[in-house]
């Protein structure tokens, strides 16, 4: 039952995020996407996850007891390190540094997590920078990615 309560809370918070973001506008439009796209995307993903928690069938047993707390703590620390290293390393390298421990916490090997993180970092950078024209820091890879 607690999963459904969490799902309802996610849907309510997502609705609040979407309502708060509806009036976001940049005084000078220098990016085609604008400031409201990211909060709306997050609200959509959060609402979808909340709806899934509400309607999915119950899992047997308490799945949280099956999650190793050490791996979970390692993944949370990796996300905090990502936030701290984002500007210094740049989006792509910081994403790789974050994705390796998170991938390993979810059962991947070191090599799988490294390959997944590198692919994720590069594809997301190219998607945001080239397709959406969103400026992301290049950090240490500025000589390759055309630094900003």
Smallest Cα–Cα separation from 131: which of 142, 141, 123, 120? 123
**Segments making up each domain of the chain, as ranges:** 1-65, 67-148
Tell me which residue has tokens 């994720």. 120
Q: What is the pLDDT of residue 65?
A: 59
Q: Which residues of 21-34 are buried (b: 16+ CB within 10 A; e: fewer)?
A: beeeeeeeeeeeee
Q: For all residues of the chain together, what is the average pLDDT?
A: 79
pLDDT band at 111 (very low <50, low <70, confident <90, very high): very high
Going along 12-75, which residue ranges are E strands?
Answer: none
Span 15-38, average pLDDT: 74
* Angle in degrees, 0-180, between the axes of helices 110-126 and 91-105, rounded to the nearest 10: 140
Q: Give the best-scoring range by mean pLDDT among 25-34, 43-52, 123-132.
A: 43-52
Span 102-117, average pLDDT: 87
- Percentage of the chain beyond pLDDT 90 is 7
Q: What is the pLDDT of residue 130?
A: 79
Say yes or no to pLDDT of 15 above 80: yes
- Percentage of the chain beyond pLDDT 70 is 79
Span 101-119, average pLDDT: 87
Q: Are 56 and 31 in contact (CB under 8 A)?
A: no
Query: Considering the entire predicted model, what is its pTM?
Result: 0.56
Q: Are 112 and 103 in contact (CB under 8 A)?
A: yes
Say yes or no to pLDDT of 115 above 90: yes
> Is the torsion defined by CA of 87, 42, 77, 94 positive or negative?
negative
Which residue has better confidence, 89 or 22? 89
Distances (CA, A) of 73 to 88, 95, 110: 23, 18, 17
Say yes or no to pLDDT of 143 above 70: no
Q: What is the C-alpha separation between 91 and 57, in angstroms, rounded? A: 37
């Amino acid at each position: 039952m607690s999963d459904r309560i969490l799902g309802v809370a996610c849907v309510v918070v997502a609705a609040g995020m979407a309502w708060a973001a509806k009036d976001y506008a940049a005084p000078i439009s220098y990016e085609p996407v604008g400031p409201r796209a990211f909060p709306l995307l997050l609200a959509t993903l959060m609402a979808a996850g909340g709806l899934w928690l509400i309607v999915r069938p119950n899992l047997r047993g308490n799945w949280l007891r099956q999650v190793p707390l050490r791996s979970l703590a390692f993944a949370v620390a990796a996300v905090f390190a990502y936030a701290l290293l984002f500007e210094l390393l740049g989006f792509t390298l910081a994403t790789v540094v974050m994705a390796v421990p998170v991938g390993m916490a979810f059962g991947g090997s070191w090599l799988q997590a490294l390959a997944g993180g590198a692919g994720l970092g590069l594809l997301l950078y190219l998607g945001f920078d080239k397709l959406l024209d969103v400026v992301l820091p290049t950090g240490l890879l500025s000589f390759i990615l055309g630094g900003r």
